[in-house]
Amino acid sequence: MSPQFRPRKHRDINRGRIASLKAKAKGGSALQASLAEIGASFDQAALTNGLKLRVEDMIERGPCDDTVRARYGRRASMVVGYTLDQAIAKATQMLQDERERFEAASILGRPVRAPLELLRELRLILRMVRLDRHRTGFDQFPGLLSFLNPRPEQNVA
């Protein structure tokens, strides 16, 4: 029997409710059930689900959307001229480099998480495009980059 499909936007709530029901079934109090629900709703799975929701939203908006261009255009310009697999490898390397910078900044007490999140999202977008190019609407990978970064000379800082 296959599990029932639940849209991604409902999974965190459902995971929390299931944890609450399990806590009650074990004889836990209402407080324990509430704490279990809160814990399950905001755990690592919820963080990962949130990332995927943001990426799915950006894919639904498409590469012509101004929000998508503003958010990913500059980073996408760094992989212009690469194949899709090379772009994913480059995004992975950029993410690793950013993690190292984040760790160093954390030691100094001034970490900034936004670039790290942006690269995680861009990498996931590229991986999702590779997984299912036709469903995402990005049949032409070079076209994706040209949409995200239509005038590369403006993005040079």
Residue with tokens 């949130």: 50
Using CB atoms within 10 Å of the CB of residue 37, give its burial: 0 to 12 exposed, 13 to 18 middle, 19+ buried. buried
At 148, is the pLDDT very low, low, confident or very high (cuts 50, 70, 90)?
A: low
Q: Return the minimum-mean-pLDDT range out of 10-24, 58-72, 133-147.
A: 133-147
99 against 61, higher pLDDT = 99
**139 vs 127, more confident:** 127
Token pair 């109090």 in the structure block, residue: 29
How much is the pLDDT for 141? 55
pLDDT at 156: 41
Cα–Cα dist 76/87, whole Å: 9
Higher pLDDT, 156 or 132: 132
- Are the CB atoms for 9 and 53 separated by under 8 Å? yes
Compute the C-alpha angle 28/34/36, nearest 5°.
75
Question: Which pLDDT does position 98 carry in this prediction?
Answer: 93
Where is pLDDT greater, at 3 or 16? 16
Encoded tokens for 45? 């799975």
66-77 vs 44-61: helix axis angle to the nearest 10? 100
Following DSSP, what letter does each residue of the chain receive, concatenated? Answer: -PPPP--HHHHHHHHHHHHHHHHHHTT--HHHHHHHHHHHHTSHHHHHHHHHHHHHHHHHH-TTSHHHHHHHHHHHHTTTTS-HHHHHHHHHHHHHHHHHHHHHHHHHT----HHHHHHHHHHHHHHHHHH-HHHHT---HHHHHHHH-S-GGGG--
